[in-house]
Amino acid sequence: MKPSAFEYLAPESCDEVLAALAGRGDDAAVLAGGQSLIPMMNLRIAAPPVVIDIMRIAEFRTIERGEEWIEIGAGIRMAQAERESASPLIEYALKHVGHAAIRNAGTVCGSIAHADPAAELPAVLLALDGEVVLRSTRGVRAVAADDFFRSYFTTAREPDELVVAVRIPTTPRRVAFLEVTPRLGGSTGEFATVAVAAAAERDDAGRFASVSLAFAGVAERAIRAREAETLLAGAEPTGDAIAEAAERAADAVDPPEDVHAGADYRRELVRALTRRALGELASR
Amino acid sequence: MTPVSVTVNGTTHELDVPPRLLLADLLRDELGLTGTKIGCAMGACGACTVLVDGEPVRSCLMFAVQADGRAVRTVEDLAGASGELHPLQAALREHHGLQCGYCTPGMLMAITPLLESGQPLEREDVREAIAGNLCRCTGYETIVDAVVEESRR
């Protein structure tokens, strides 16, 4: 199938994009890498009357490294984020996103804005306590990942707002990313049946000072395993502590059933992947 | 209609196109470069893979207007002017790396940047490069054989 006809705007400044969004609201779709939007348009799941291409805007094509945050602009494609090591956890997760050809076009911010519940990057942003920077003609705001993701493909972004960047705290943490997909191997192109993005700080004695565990594929949005995280705060990274945390994480989820996996299997994957991810965080 | 200036296989074309025209359709229908195939039109099969500014992308997941000012390379660029096969194409033929041939242009374009890097390739490198390209008749082994051997020639 072919996409419906639309009006194409390709502004060269952020202000022009915001003005266009302010006037059109839900009638306008933002086009960045197009790796989610264009398939939906080809299948006519989406038929936006106006498409605003933001890839001509030079200020969006930057990765800024500040003292507290690394900020990835809306024009940064996944392959570029991978090459420039925007963040180790993003780099690990990107190896599981689509294929090379998809990552050469798709953007980091686009995947976050799309908010597929089985996508890798939302779970990563959530695990790292990242934020989404939104701009409109009304102003700018930064929304914590946990408040940004609402439900299936649904976020806190208002129709007149543009995701201009995502930011990740520079806090040094050990990280791990593990994923199971219907097709085995590296770049499988599949969304996660279950994926875990994990990060931990260890104190001088080697105990877990703080741990975050975020999952894709187990709920209507990427979610954190708060109970398991609390259990691990201040804990020795022993096999028993890890096994107990993995149980809590698995008990806390109520995963969906689909053609790839039933709820019980997804819960078992949460248990197994949590155990392995924490094992990696404990050993490194 | 939106004006587009796109360089395809070294020739710059100035065209007016409807924004909804996919790059794959621009190549096939407007420029007559029918080597690029459309399989699924949703980014899953890889048959439409072309190089944009030297990197493999899905031409079914890109509007022609997005290619404005960029350089596109298609499978037609591989063979010589008098039709002699590119070494990669010759290697695929030698190793029976194609049967129906529908996936072949996408496979070739997904592999080309890797091969042109000049490194001797391992099987895993090739598998990773074509992980997004579906073949439903030949099977991947002979394709991998051909590329690995060609990279070491």
The number of folded domains in chain A is: 3
- Cβ partners under 8 Å of residue A186, min gap 6: A95, A96, B128, B131
Of B2, B18, B58, the CB nearest to A101: B58
Q: Are both A116 and A206 inside the same structural domain?
A: no
pLDDT in tens, chain A (284 residues): 799 999 999 999 999 999 999 989 789 999 999 999 999 999 999 999 999 999 999 999 999 999 999 999 999 999 999 998 778 999 999 999 999 999 999 999 999 999 999 999 999 999 999 999 999 999 999 999 999 999 999 999 999 999 999 999 999 899 999 999 987 765 667 889 999 999 999 999 999 999 999 999 999 999 999 999 999 999 999 999 999 999 999 999 999 999 989 999 999 999 999 999 999 999 85
Strands (E), A1-144: 7-9, 28-31, 50-53, 63-65, 69-73, 131-136, 139-144
Residue pairs spanning A and B at CB distance below 8 A: 94
pLDDT of residue A185: 63
Q: Are both A47 and A101 inside the same structural domain?
A: no
Contact A168, A130 (CB under 8 A): yes
For residue A120, being part of any structural domain is answered with yes
What CATH number should be reported for the domain holding residue A115?
A: 3.30.465.10
ipTM tops 0.90:
yes
Distance CA A98, CA A108 (A): 12
In Å, how far is A55's CA from the nearest CA of chain B? 9
Domains of chain B (ranges; CATH) run 2-77 (3.10.20.30), 87-151 (1.10.150.120)
Query: Contacts of residue A4 in chain B, CB cutoff 8 Å?
Result: 20
Strand partners, A50: A7, A28
A47 is in which domain, residue-wise? Answer: 7-53
Do A8 and B129 lie within an 8 Å CB cutoff? no
Both structure tokens of B140 = 């991947």
What CATH number should be reported for the domain holding residue A19?
A: 3.30.43.10
Which helix H or strand E contains A232, and what residues bound it? helix A226-232
The neighbour count for residue A110, using CB atoms within 10 Å, is 25
A45 touches chain B (CB under 8 A): no
